[in-house]
A and B are shown apart, each in its own frame.
Chain A
Amino acid sequence: MSVKIELPHVGESVVEGTIGKWLKQPGDPIKRYEPLVEIITDKVDMEVPSPVEGYVVRFLAAEGETLPMGAPIAEIATADSPEGAEPVTPSPATPSIQVEPETPAPTAQPTSPGTTGYLLKNVTPVGPTGGAAIENAEPTEYSSPPPVAHAPAAAPTPTIPAPAAAPARTTGQTRLSPAVRRLAETHSIDVSNIQGTGLGGRITRDDVLKYVASGPAPAQVAAPTAQVEGQLSADGQETHVPLTPVRRMIAEAMVRSVSNIPHAWSTVDVDVSSLVALRTSVRAEFEQREGVSLTYLPFVIKAVVESLKEFPTMNATWGGDKIILKNRVNLGLAVAAPNGLIVPVIHNADRLSITGLAVAAKDLAERARTKKLTLNDVQEGTFTLNNTGALGSNISGPIINYPQAGIMTTETIQKRAVVIDNAIAIRSMMNICLSFDHRINDGAEASGFLAAVKSKLQAIGPGTSIY
């Protein structure tokens, strides 16, 4: 009998091997364990021994051919089989490698049309049914290219050129819509100068039209990049960065706060769908009227300062033997300035309207970033607000701005599935997180304060006055 020799499995992750070199030729006698073929895989190169004694009948794969593990590669006639009794002598005229493709040549009748099927060609249907003609017709050829034969053939050289590298985008923006491309071309504009206002910063058609209407903007100042300079340590394993004064200050303030104040934390989620809707509906008009973009911040500030008035112990300081309530509400806003965190303060924040708060917050943030804050701007804060959501955060445990009684964060606004009256709804939700000095307040006051902020934010609607 003859035995089919298979490409052996050599390792878990090795799925295919390439025939390196046949060490025997058809007709050659071969002993058990005698090397038959060299196999090359991506892990190892190895000689495959014959598992039986006999004669090599034929090869089923050619040198250089890559096959899956387990594929038959040769046939060996064993000594006990009739055909193995005598060596099979190959015809001298035939090449030493005989390859018998399993798939018939493309001209032969296809055994299966595959899932793609095939079209009969050169057949003219006759009559309404066209049946007889079609039934008698010989399928002559595939209308689509024939399946690639299993037989080894010189791999066709790929003729499709690799796609040219896409032109580098200067903006790092998402793709431009056809309308934007056309407009940019019509007006000969470099869109990299345009600040996109669409989804994910996409440049919209309106952005281009506005840009055209406003004339070209001055070249943009390069964004500050985080550059850390330092000295390599003696052993080269570390880099030592000297502290900036601001960094040292922040560090000391944090340590003082955490060492002195027993922090406790609480979080609630707020349904801000109405707030989102309100802001979306008025932001364009607001910006035009006030010259300041309308963010969620002034709404949150308003809710916080009003809640602080309801919970005066949140607007307070630990006095050692007493609790000191602050009669003014001076709200600190954590701002990421170039050198580090800074907390400018909106003094008497409870006396300002939404518009007033928007203007004050924008002014402080801008001066913080341009290092134009005065000493007064950063003093006498009584409570701090931090918009960690702007950084993509969903929950945080902030450190209190010593010696205040608490600090609150607003987190990312996300659309979430929430249950309302036994129905699932998609709402814009935002977490607010509070750290509070547990010497001054207990969970009851903290929760009450958060609930107050929450209900004020949720009460905002189309009718909320912002001027």
Chain B
Amino acid sequence: MVVKSVIEAVREAIREEMERDPKVFVMGEDVGVRGGVFLATQGMSEEFGADRVIDTPLAEASIMGIALGAAFRGMRPIPEVQFSDFVWPSINQLIGEAARACYGTNGAVQVPMVIRIPYGGGIRGGLFHSQNVETHFFHTPGLKVVAPATPYDAKGLLKSAIRDNNPVVFLEHKKTYRLVRGEVPDQEYTLPIGKADIKRPGSNITVVSYGLTLHYCLEAAEELASQGVDVEVVDLRTLTPLDTETILESVKKTGKLAIVHEDNVTGGVGAEIAALVAGQAFEYLDGPISRICGPDVPTMPFAQTLEDAYMPTADKIADGLRKLAAY
């Protein structure tokens, strides 16, 4: 297998699906001639034409509204939000409409679109290029929310998302784009949405994460292994629908759970997982459920020192896991 970056995997998935299905098209700011600010759609304008790779004005509400209308009429749009921080003007189209259309029409209308959102910090992007937005979509029934961490998962899940008849919020951590590399099969494959993946089996502690912090969890797990603590790392890959089965199985095996994400700790994905485990695996718990997450500050700080303080790191995670191991 060939080793690829996350951004290459994303690009391949879009291209393959556009070749496979003429209903698939891309729209967003700078996605056409310039190939996207992260080059996710590089070369596609030439290959598929401006009709299928549409440059739009800086108007997210319009991007999402147009995509929504096209999806209502049977197209399979892939609107791109240039940075997650810009998604807010389109929230009505996403949460108010896309999430509810199928349910509200008793299935008469379907919304087969994939909203690609580069998100996350740790890239010195400051206030307006670093936000974690997943909790808002995670909270909203009617959306599927996918957040892969590796090239293999990104490609397989993006292809599944494009073929899905529901609106899928596809979160790509922008720091992983070129930082994370991995093997991607040459032949066609898809991965099921809603299935977590155990990236590292272990027996002492379960740590659940997704996106960029998954890799920090794996680093921390390595460090703890040298100290005799065997950590199991569960990659959620999909936030909605949540793979409760894999989480519960793992915690029942290890007895201890830590949840790691970059998004603010309060009311985040970790809170839901903590509630799930406390409710359904209570008798297996041998320690307090702990969360190692971004602090509750309004946005990613600009100052490097403060951004470093914000971000979960392998060291911070290892520290938390050591405490849990000693409990």
Contacts and interface: CB of A to CB of B under 8 A. Distances in A.
B133 to A, nearest CB: 29
B281 to A, nearest CB: 9
Contacts of A280: 227-228
Interface stretch (A109-117, A119-127, A174-182): A174-182
A47 B193 CA distance: 80
Interface stretch (B80-88, B121-129, B282-290): B282-290
Contacts of A284: 228
B327 A180 contact: no
Contacts of B227: 277, 280-281
A180 B228 contact: no
A178 B284 contact: yes
Given A281-B226, A284-B228, A182 B327 contact: no
B282 A178 contact: yes
B274 to A, nearest CB: 14
B108 interface: no
Interface string A261-281: 000000000000000010011
B323 to A, nearest CB: 8
Contact of B285 (A177, A199, A277): A177
A199 B228 contact: no
A182 B228 contact: no
A302 interface: no
A327 B79 CA distance: 82
B306 interface: no
B286 A462 contact: no
26 contacts: A177-B285, A177-B287, A178-B286, A179-B283, A179-B284, A179-B285, A179-B286, A181-B283, A182-B283, A182-B284, A198-B326, A198-B327, A199-B327, A204-B286, A204-B327, A205-B286, A277-B227, A280-B227, A280-B228, A281-B226, A281-B227, A281-B228, A282-B228, A283-B228, A285-B228, A462-B226
**B interface majority secondary structure:** loop
Interface in A226-258: none
B326 A199 contact: yes
Identify which of B282, B284, B286, B326 gathers the most chain A CB atoms within 10 Å of its CB.
Answer: B286
The interface size bin for chain A is 10 to 19
Nearest to B322: A280
B288 to A, nearest CB: 9
A178 B283 CA distance: 5
A199 B286 CA distance: 12
Nearest to A285: B228
A180 B284 CA distance: 8
Given A281-B226, A284-B228, A177 B326 contact: no
B151 interface: no
Given A177-B255, A178-B284, 5 more contacts: A177-B286, A182-B283, A199-B326, A281-B227, A281-B228
Nearest to B285: A178
B292 to A, nearest CB: 15
Interface string A423-467: 000000000000000000000000000000000000000100000
A375 to B, nearest CB: 41
Interface in A148-204: 177-182, 198-199, 202, 204
Nearest to A277: B227
A181 B287 CA distance: 12
Nearest to B288: A177
A421 to B, nearest CB: 14
Contacts of A282: 228
Interface in B269-321: 282-287
Interface in B201-256: 226-228, 255
Nearest to A180: B286
A202 B327 contact: yes
A243 B175 CA distance: 73
A191 to B, nearest CB: 13
Nearest to B305: A423
Contacts of A181: 283
A267 B64 CA distance: 68
A171 B78 CA distance: 62
A288 B264 CA distance: 43
Contacts of B228: 280-285
A181 B284 CA distance: 9
Contacts of B287: 177
Nearest to A197: B326
Interface in A205-243: 205
A28 B205 CA distance: 79
Nearest to B224: A281
A294 to B, nearest CB: 12
B287 to A, nearest CB: 7
Nearest to A202: B327
Contacts of A283: 228
A174 to B, nearest CB: 10
Contacts of B285: 177-179
Nearest to A279: B227
Nearest to B254: A205
Interface string B70-114: 000000000000000000000000000000000000000000000
Contacts of A462: 226
B214 to A, nearest CB: 24
B227 to A, nearest CB: 4
Give the interface centre of B227, B228, B282, B285 by most chain A CB atoms within 10 Å: B227
A179 B206 CA distance: 15
A204 B255 CA distance: 10
A277 B223 CA distance: 11
Contacts of A199: 326-327
Nearest to B227: A281
A51 B226 CA distance: 82
A180 B228 CA distance: 21
A201 B226 CA distance: 24
Given A204-B286, A277-B227, A462-B226, A179 B255 contact: yes
A293 to B, nearest CB: 14
Contact of B255 (A205, A277, A281, A285): A205
A62 B164 CA distance: 73
